[in-house]
Chains A and B, each alone.
Chain A
Amino acid sequence: MKKIYSIFILAILFACNDDFLQRFPQTSIAQENFFKSTTDLRTYSYQFYDYLGASYMDRPSDNTTVEKGGIQSLMLGSVTADNAGGWGSWGTVRAINFFLDNYKKAQGDAGEIKKYGAMGHFARAKCYTGMVQTYSDVPWYSHVVKDDDTEMLFKPRDTRELVVDSIIADLEFATANLTNESSKALLSKWAAYTELSRFCLYEGTYRKYHSGETDLHVVKSADYFLNKAVSAAEAVMKSGNFAISSKGNPGEDYGDLFNGGTELNSNPEIIMYIDYEDDKREHGSRLVLDFENGISRTMADSYLYMNGSFVPKSVTDVTPLEQVFENRDPRMKQSLYFPGYILPSDPIPYKISINKTGGYGQIKFIPKVKAKHWEGFYSCYTDLPLYRYAEVLLNYAEAKAELGQLSQTDLDKTINLLRDRVGVGHLFMNPPIDPVNEAINKGITSKQKAELLEIRRERRVELFAEGFRYDDMMRWKLGKIFEQPQQGIYVPSSGMVDVTGDGEVDYFISDSESKKPADLPDNVSVLITTSDDSPVYLENGNYGHIMFKFEQRGIGTFIEPKYYYRPIPTSQMLLNTNLKQIFGWN
């Protein structure tokens, strides 16, 4: 009987009230309860900012020496579809599409809702830009893909044409619906215009210099994008909101933009910047000097004389470090390590590690004051520019010159404004051609080639270490440059180098121990290039520019057009057999 009774109790407990077994999360939000207000949109949109990053180094590119990252593995044939990782930022695409699929549900001011939508479109464009630059054709998704949507999941690549058009549509939606922002840490209409001009310039020049590559599935002409680049840049220029920052100190104004020397939020040149704060968000920009980041001779040689003329090869061939910086574009000493340079953290001049770097080092982005920047590896908190006006001007000038429409007026409102800040002589139409610069920039097809060569030089110098160089090399189809061994500073046959600028020898470099003077002071670092543990050697045995043994052992081949692209990993090819490798990656 008792048994029956207890079974009866059980029956009651199961039959009624299953609240006990219904439990809901207490510290996360159900999808249905979100996207109600513009505050929700703003909250969600904050994550888009985490997709944006500023660079403070040009690795890998021909601006640097030792660390070529994946480029060397690629050129030596070690990269295959089997071991290549990557393939897309699909998590980011989904997060953005989830927002774009839902943001219109919010109640509130229509303009504000559109503004947040524009942020989503901008973020998606930015995300896809990276993918197009890596893989060319990629599948485009404008909505969240569901796990049972096999058609979308297993679709082949979309053409570059389609994806690029979609990116531009996203960016144009952003320029139309974003607004002026009170803070330059926020995404504004002008940042979107800058991105639009950057992307259109990229795509325009890409189509121009890569035309004829099989597997480049495009229809529209280069000029279509170059014109868009011009008009987007023009929009920023005509807004009147921005100007080249100058306080009349040619020796500091440029460098201060990158080393905490000026407040970026109020700086007229800054379109958007990334805010860093002590203990909260920090970067490692103090590591740009040494730490596997050496600067190449071709970068150093790009800086003009004060009067605006280039330095002939006959001079750069024999000038030791002590004299290199004389009479040069002031941006050089605000970008590159020079003899006598003192780190804010140190009491005495810094002695660059020339055996690692080749002797040229980077100081652009090193914090200007000591503060706590030196307390850890990634402990710098100087704000970093993300979009600055100088780039807009350079985009404008380059697009114009590629279109063959550049005029002196254009130069005066772009390149020459940059030169004015540092007091370097102006660029004029039909400038003399620097054979070195011409050799680097092979294949220019514009009728304004002479101007274009100088505009490219200006871009390399002005935007040094801001992360543009690799993308520029790719769109100008300069991959073959990676086949040329890099060089560092020039070492005379005496082997004596003074890197600290105090007139005392710091390094003795030679191909033979026996050439070492007997009375060399203790504090002189000795580098015998024939020794196994020397990573460098001299161009001409016992004198010449420093060169690198790792490149001597094998520099590889930059296979065109294959190496402008990366393969889709085999694992993804196996999952989706509709994906096909292009540009010979199979």
Chain B
Amino acid sequence: MFNLYKYKLMEKKWFNDEGPSRSLFKWLRVMRLTVLFLLTALIHVSASVYSQQTKLSISLRNASVKEVLTQIENQSEFFFLYKNENVDVNRIVNVSIKDKSVEDLLDQIFKGTTVSYEVVNRQIVLVDNGKSSPVAPPSQPQQKPISGKVTDSSGVTLPGVSVSVKGTTNGCITDSDGNYSLSNVPGTGILQFSFVGMKTQEVLVANRTKINVTLSPSIENIDEVVVVGYGTQKKSNLTGAVQQVTSKELENRTVINVGQALQGLIPNLNISIPNGRANTTPNMNIRGMGSLSGNEPLIVIDGVPSTMTEFMAINPNDIENVSALMDASSASIYGARAAFGVILVTTKKASTNEMQVTFNSNVSFRRPTVLPDYILDQNIVMKAKVDASGGWYNLKDIFGISDWDYLDQVTKGEAPQIKVNPEDPTKWITAGRTNWYKEAMRDFGVTQNHNVAVSGSSSKTRYYLSGAYSRQEGVFKYGNDIFDKYNFRGKTDFDVTKWLTISDNVSYNNDYFDEPSHGFSIYSLLNTPTLDVIKNPDGSWTKSGATIFGSTIEGGRIYTRNSRFWGSFSANANFFDKMLSITAKATFLRGNKELKNIWIPVQYKTGPNVIETLNPILDAQRDACSDRQNVFDLYADFTKSFNQHNFHVLVGYNQEYRYSDWFASNRNGLITSSVPSISLATGDKIVNESATDWATRSGFFRLNYDFNGKYLFEVNGRYDGTSRFPKKDRFVFVPSMSMGWNITKENFFAQFSNVVSSLKPRFSYGVLGNQDVDAYAYLATMGAGTTSSILPGDKTEQQTTIYAPGIVGNSLTWEKVKTTNVGVDFGFLRNRLSGTFDYYNRAVLDMLTKSKTLPSVLGTSEPLANAANLVTKGWELSLTWKDNFKLLNSDFNYSVSGNLSDSRAWITKYDNPDGRLSDYYAGYEVGTIWGYQVNGLFQTQEELANHANQSQFWTYPGKVTPGPGDIKFEDLNGDGQIRAANTIYDMQDQKKIGNSRARYNVGFRAAFDWKGFDFSMFIQGVLKQDWYPSAGYDFWGLNYGPWGNLQRYQYENSWTPEHTDAYLPRIKGYAASTWSGAEMLQANTRYLQNNAYLRLRNISLGYSLPAVLIQKVKLSQLRFFASGDNLLTWTGIKVPNIDPETSFGDYPLQKMISLGINVKF
């Protein structure tokens, strides 16, 4: 075997040799350490300079050659390449040199051997001239020569790759341009390409004579390149807190938008998905609570600030990586809008390779994560409802007749579920057992995603084109909702001259949501009585049937269409041998949204001859929204190194303008429901519009300096102006600095290098501004509205009126966000274990909020002022273990990674010296839940009579007498009266009982691949969060009111005289409603829920067919996979069937099973 073995790969400082071309060839930096091979070859001149300048001092006795080489590598940036079996590195030598060149040292240790060396820049190749193996003579007449080029996935050529014909000794190493050539290769031969750090690849020769190969890394993160604002940085040089995920972690998730795929991947990038509707935008937040006025991260897609909706609209398969800039230092280049972090999204780049086509396709089958479990026996249900309405309603009120016998009969199946009311023959009486939720759900909803991408290059042009189609059908049996999404993207780079490249990046997105206008609320599925039935004996709808199903099927549809065209056009020029690079970029977004809606009345019958109409108005609606955004960037990038001092300067200008408007029209009295046009209607026209615009203009810079890759410094700054503030308060300068220390590069650290591969403490500090207020918040304006009164003006109608303006502050300016960040990046055991830890303290000063609460006689909201402070503290940790070993002669690659993060926030300044709890106060921890101590329920009337007076919380006093089974609030201050706290100094019977904010967000991922199989699983969760159930049927069931349904849990776990140790209080209608008393809604320790959860987000198994098989059909990859999402959930909520993430009655979150295929050729 002619195999080049790299003894050890150290982190190397290579910055100053990269040349001055940083910005033009930014893409060059998105590559692994292997780029060194290319660079060393390209820039030959400086190589000898380095070897001559670098002086070494080594003194070792009885050391192996191997140890000496290690020492050299530790002290310098040299690294050695040699044939494993040829050079005897275990030979014991004595070395003692001081301030000598590497040549002198090598001459000394190889003196008297046949080993010779060649210094190529920092690479030193050792060859034992006495042991060179003979090349096998040609043995088969049909053999032919083969040549080609080897590159890595980012298109950088790889020198030093071993290429051999499998099963022979015929082989070679690629040259400095990554080229290889072999003679005498049989057509049936299989070429094997192997290289340290890369996966070995096998290619069938067939009748080809030119075979180009792309190798992919086997272990990542050896030295990752991370996308930062206006550029990239090597992870080892990073001084800010930046977390990045790559396409690898996002690929093959069968998600409709990227938000779902990102959830849990980055510590402290907190994503919550409020419901399972296809077009729902997730909520994202970096590092927890930001400011009272908002804490959205800035989203930047390919360098352009974008909205969350726009982010969700892009094709997940187009994404190359997503970076989260967490601290002030990394974010401040984006200035005042980046106060709460930046999410940088980079799409896949135009490739330098030959043309490659990728095709991905998958289909998923989805069902809701939770299904309600109701008691359906009519007599039990009715008994519970009558109990719940004690004081209000009796059987006749709820049921229509007072006839328990009929209920018993129908429960036994001896009577029909619907019959004519004997007391009122015009009406029907129903005693059904309809689980509306189940009735409404399909067995599964189907999602499909199809994506095709073509990338490649010709001599001066590089391109990437992709198209995707997704369709998600809702989970409902009737009147289902359908979401269609189309994405197209085209990127081209064209080299006009050697120094000028022009590029475009154009995308078009169109999505279309088609849903019923009278989409029954999920809420109504859950609270429509099971005793109702869907259809009457004559086949007509019942009222409930019409409300739920009739209106979804017959009641008309809403169509929402979003289209976005997004184009970025840029030019990049570089000068002075690439030392200076200038980029100019113009980006335009044009988006529009159309909504068409028709409401069609639906008829139902309440009795044999009583026809009624639901939603009696035939009405058409047409809305349109448009967005336009223009962004101009101009920035220059300057790089210079001398000796071991490396400088990099970035200076730029940015301006942005965004305009959004909305126009709505509505008209009733449609002539025909078949053509729902407002021009074909006779009724009143209602039209409305609104428009908003804002502009920003900024200059920014970044300065990097490092000494020999060891000591890293960075300074950022941005001067920002916004239209959101009055002229005098419009501009702000936001600076930041950061530094890092690569300890492992220190000589003294060499002794630990076998264990600690990298260790870099970091520190950063910066002040950012936040401008998150309404576009015209500083201007007092009078809004228009329509009266409810119908008055004779020019015409008798509801008149337009103008309302008084609110109060605006005298001066409004930026919130200041100061972030201190201390972090460390580390890698152990040859980087098999790597990770990052960051601790931060983010103080928001001069928060835009009301300056203080004023008496309500003010008559309007208090004006905004820069009045309050808040501090958020937290940390994030991520750990990854990656390794591989041979299992049954094949590489078994596996990785286990996890992340954990936390944040807490406190108000540190707020004008509320009295500590009124209705307001914030200094010292308040955001999310605090105040409540009562509840140790149990009243068991007897005497106990109740002797207990403190709870009359403030009685539910409809007089209607329902307090009694055994009711909640017993502890009289903490012993004054005989249960009272709520008014101020923190007067807590009465309340205390802190919990906190509603999510803490300890966790993500855990495990994956392996072996013999073409790949497996991964991903768990995400929140480990600490309290929730006090609010008014509603979900937790409280019939306690919310007698009109809901009887949950099995409530039936089995409510207090009754026979079941006195039950968890829930006695069933008591309206006790959990907000209308009166609301005793069950008083937060208390007994019913405070643990809303922590863990969710098996994804589990997936794939199989890739062996290369030798698929190469016969000219494919380079063929992979099949199956995956499951949200299959398992662990939650601490006591009442079952409540999803910890989705609010009750919202579109349900779904679990799904998916099948897919990936093809490359």
Report A-chain residues with C-beta under 8 Å of the C-beta of B167: none
Q: Are the CB atoms of B422 and A44 closer together than 8 Å?
A: no
- Central interface residue in A25, A183, A554, by most chain B CB within 10 Å: A25
Q: Are the CB atoms of A274 and B782 closer together than 8 Å?
A: no
Say whether, besides A7-B651, A73-B957, A94 and B859 are in contact (CB < 8 Å). Answer: yes
Residues of chain B touching chain A, judged by Cβ–Cβ distance below 8 Å, are 386, 390-397, 401-402, 422-426, 575, 580, 582, 612-613, 616-617, 634-636, 638, 649, 651-653, 655, 657, 661, 668, 683-684, 689-697, 699, 719, 721-723, 727, 730, 775-776, 779-785, 787-793, 796-805, 807, 853-860, 862-863, 914, 916, 918, 951-952, 954, 956-959, 961, 979-980, 982-983, 1076-1077
Report A-chain residues with C-beta under 8 Å of the C-beta of B961: 553-554
For the complex formed, measure the closest distance between the CB of B250 and the CB atoms of chain A, giving whole angstroms. Answer: 36
Say whether, besides A43-B802, A98-B804, A153 and B854 are in contact (CB < 8 Å). Answer: yes
For the complex formed, measure the closest distance between the CB of B661 and the CB atoms of chain A, giving whole angstroms. Answer: 8
Q: Does A95 touch B at the CB level, under 8 Å?
A: yes
For the complex formed, measure the closest distance between the CB of B662 and the CB atoms of chain A, giving whole angstroms. Answer: 9
Report A-chain residues with C-beta under 8 Å of the C-beta of B422: 522-523
Report A-chain residues with C-beta under 8 Å of the C-beta of B390: 532-533
**Distance in angstroms between the alpha carbons of A555 and B804 in the assembled complex:** 45
Q: Are the CB atoms of B862 and A523 closer together than 8 Å?
A: no
Q: Does A375 touch B at the CB level, under 8 Å?
A: yes
Say whether, besides A3-B649, A43-B800, A24 and B391 are in contact (CB < 8 Å). Answer: no
Q: Are the CB atoms of B782 and A22 closer together than 8 Å?
A: no
**Docked complex: A304-360 residues within 8 A CB-CB of B:** 346-348, 351, 353, 355-356
Say whether, besides A27-B690, A49-B787, A95-B804, A533 and B424 are in contact (CB < 8 Å). Answer: no
For the complex formed, measure the closest distance between the CB of A348 and the CB atoms of chain B, giving whole angstroms. Answer: 7
Q: Are the CB atoms of B855 and A80 closer together than 8 Å?
A: no
For the complex formed, measure the closest distance between the CB of B1129 and the CB atoms of chain A, giving whole angstroms. Answer: 38
12 further A-B contacts with Cβ under 8 Å, apart from A43-B801, A355-B397, are A6-B653, A9-B653, A29-B781, A93-B857, A183-B792, A276-B790, A281-B789, A281-B798, A353-B397, A526-B402, A551-B958, A553-B958
Report A-chain residues with C-beta under 8 Å of the C-beta of B784: 27-29
Q: Does A544 touch B at the CB level, under 8 Å?
A: no
Q: Are the CB atoms of B781 and A25 closer together than 8 Å?
A: yes
**Distance in angstroms between the alpha carbons of A527 and B395 in the assembled complex:** 10
For the complex formed, measure the closest distance between the CB of B1049 and the CB atoms of chain A, giving whole angstroms. Answer: 25
Q: Which 4 A-B pairs have the closest CB atoms?
A: A94-B859, A49-B789, A533-B394, A98-B804
Q: Are the CB atoms of B858 and A3 closer together than 8 Å?
A: no
In-complex Cβ contact of B788 among A281, A534, A535 (8 A): A281
Q: Are the CB atoms of B858 and A94 closer together than 8 Å?
A: yes
**Docked complex: A246-288 residues within 8 A CB-CB of B:** 274-277, 279-281
Report A-chain residues with C-beta under 8 Å of the C-beta of B613: 375
Please list 12 pairs of residues, one from A and one from B, whose beta carbons are closer than 8 Å in the complex, sorted by A's number.
A28-B782, A30-B781, A76-B958, A90-B857, A185-B796, A275-B789, A353-B396, A355-B394, A375-B612, A527-B402, A575-B855, A579-B855
Q: Are the CB atoms of B651 and A6 closer together than 8 Å?
A: yes
**Distance in angstroms between the alpha carbons of A246 and B392 in the assembled complex:** 41
Q: Does A572 touch B at the CB level, under 8 Å?
A: yes
Q: Are the CB atoms of B730 and A21 closer together than 8 Å?
A: yes
Report B-chain residues with C-beta under 8 Å of the C-beta of A579: 855
In-complex Cβ contact of B793 among A46, A91, A575 (8 A): A46
**Distance in angstroms between the alpha carbons of A144 and B860 in the assembled complex:** 10
Q: Are the CB atoms of A14 and B423 closer together than 8 Å?
A: no
For the complex formed, measure the closest distance between the CB of A384 and the CB atoms of chain B, giving whole angstroms. Answer: 12
Q: Are the CB atoms of A275 and B780 closer together than 8 Å?
A: no
**Docked complex: A552-585 residues within 8 A CB-CB of B:** 553-556, 570-572, 574-576, 579
Q: Does A372 touch B at the CB level, under 8 Å?
A: yes
Say whether, besides A22-B723, A49-B791, A34 and B860 are in contact (CB < 8 Å). Answer: no
In-complex Cβ contact of A93 among B684, B776, B855, B859 (8 A): B859
**Distance in angstroms between the alpha carbons of A285 and B308 in the assembled complex:** 46
- Central interface residue in B691, B799, B855, B863, by most chain A CB within 10 Å: B855
- Kindly report which residue of chain A lies nearest to residue B386, judged by CB atoms: A533
- Kindly report which residue of chain B lies nearest to residue A579, judged by CB atoms: B855
For the complex formed, measure the closest distance between the CB of A383 and the CB atoms of chain B, giving whole angstroms. Answer: 9
Say whether, besides A78-B1077, A82-B979, A139 and B857 are in contact (CB < 8 Å). Answer: yes
Report B-chain residues with C-beta under 8 Å of the C-beta of A492: none
Report A-chain residues with C-beta under 8 Å of the C-beta of B696: 21
Report B-chain residues with C-beta under 8 Å of the C-beta of A97: 859
**Distance in angstroms between the alpha carbons of A91 and B391 in the assembled complex:** 37
Q: Are the CB atoms of B423 and A522 closer together than 8 Å?
A: yes
- Kindly report which residue of chain B lies nearest to residue A555, judged by CB atoms: B958
In-complex Cβ contact of B805 among A31, A47, A376, A526 (8 A): A31
Say whether, besides A20-B697, A27-B691, A31-B805, A575 and B787 are in contact (CB < 8 Å). Answer: no
Report B-chain residues with C-beta under 8 Å of the C-beta of A98: 804-805
- Kindly report which residue of chain B lies nearest to residue A47, judged by CB atoms: B801
**Distance in angstroms between the alpha carbons of A30 and B781 in the assembled complex:** 5
User: What mask results when residues 66 to 102 of chain A are scored 1 for a CB within 8 Å of chain B, else 0?
Assistant: 0000001100111010110001101111110111000
**Distance in angstroms between the alpha carbons of A571 and B919 in the assembled complex:** 10
A interface, size bucket: 35 or more
Report B-chain residues with C-beta under 8 Å of the C-beta of A356: 393, 397
**Distance in angstroms between the alpha carbons of A25 and B983 in the assembled complex:** 40
Interface residues of B, dominant DSSP: mixed
In-complex Cβ contact of A88 among B394, B580, B857 (8 A): B857
- Kindly report which residue of chain B lies nearest to residue A91, judged by CB atoms: B859
Q: Are the CB atoms of B723 and A21 closer together than 8 Å?
A: yes
Q: Are the CB atoms of B790 and A185 closer together than 8 Å?
A: yes
- Kindly report which residue of chain A lies nearest to residue B690, judged by CB atoms: A27
For the complex formed, measure the closest distance between the CB of B75 and the CB atoms of chain A, giving whole angstroms. Answer: 36
Q: Are the CB atoms of B791 and A78 closer together than 8 Å?
A: no
User: What mask results when residues 505 to 537 of chain A are scored 1 for a CB within 8 Å of chain B, else 0?
Assistant: 000000000000000001111110000111100
In-complex Cβ contact of B694 among A23, A87, A347 (8 A): A23
In-complex Cβ contact of A525 among B401, B959, B980 (8 A): B401
In-complex Cβ contact of A355 among B396, B655, B668, B857 (8 A): B396
Q: Are the CB atoms of B781 and A90 closer together than 8 Å?
A: no
**Distance in angstroms between the alpha carbons of A139 and B979 in the assembled complex:** 28
**Distance in angstroms between the alpha carbons of A574 and B985 in the assembled complex:** 12
Q: Does A146 touch B at the CB level, under 8 Å?
A: yes
**Docked complex: A110-156 residues within 8 A CB-CB of B:** 139, 141, 144-147, 152-154
Q: Are the CB atoms of B776 and A153 closer together than 8 Å?
A: no
**Distance in angstroms between the alpha carbons of A48 and B982 in the assembled complex:** 36
Report A-chain residues with C-beta under 8 Å of the C-beta of B636: 2-3, 6
Q: Are the CB atoms of A275 and B796 closer together than 8 Å?
A: yes
Q: Does A109 touch B at the CB level, under 8 Å?
A: no
Report B-chain residues with C-beta under 8 Å of the C-beta of A40: 802
Report B-chain residues with C-beta under 8 Å of the C-beta of A439: none
Q: Are the CB atoms of B693 and A23 closer together than 8 Å?
A: yes
**Distance in angstroms between the alpha carbons of A76 and B392 in the assembled complex:** 18
Report A-chain residues with C-beta under 8 Å of the C-beta of B790: 185, 275-277, 280-281
**Docked complex: A369-421 residues within 8 A CB-CB of B:** 372, 374-376
**Distance in angstroms between the alpha carbons of A195 and B402 in the assembled complex:** 49
**Docked complex: A168-187 residues within 8 A CB-CB of B:** 182-183, 185-186
Say whether, besides A94-B860, A98-B804, A570-B982, A24 and B855 are in contact (CB < 8 Å). Answer: no
Q: Does A429 touch B at the CB level, under 8 Å?
A: no
- Kindly report which residue of chain A lies nearest to residue B689, judged by CB atoms: A27
Say whether, besides A3-B649, A50-B788, A279-B617, A571 and B918 are in contact (CB < 8 Å). Answer: yes
- Central interface residue in A47, A88, A141, A534, by most chain B CB within 10 Å: A47
Report B-chain residues with C-beta under 8 Å of the C-beta of A18: 721, 727, 730
Q: Are the CB atoms of A43 and B799 closer together than 8 Å?
A: yes
Q: Are the CB atoms of A23 and B957 closer together than 8 Å?
A: no
Report A-chain residues with C-beta under 8 Å of the C-beta of B695: 20-21, 23
Report A-chain residues with C-beta under 8 Å of the C-beta of B697: 13-14, 20-21
Report B-chain residues with C-beta under 8 Å of the C-beta of A9: 634, 653
**Distance in angstroms between the alpha carbons of A275 and B798 in the assembled complex:** 10
Report A-chain residues with C-beta under 8 Å of the C-beta of B1076: 73
Q: Are the CB atoms of A30 and B782 closer together than 8 Å?
A: yes
**Distance in angstroms between the alpha carbons of A492 and B694 in the assembled complex:** 77
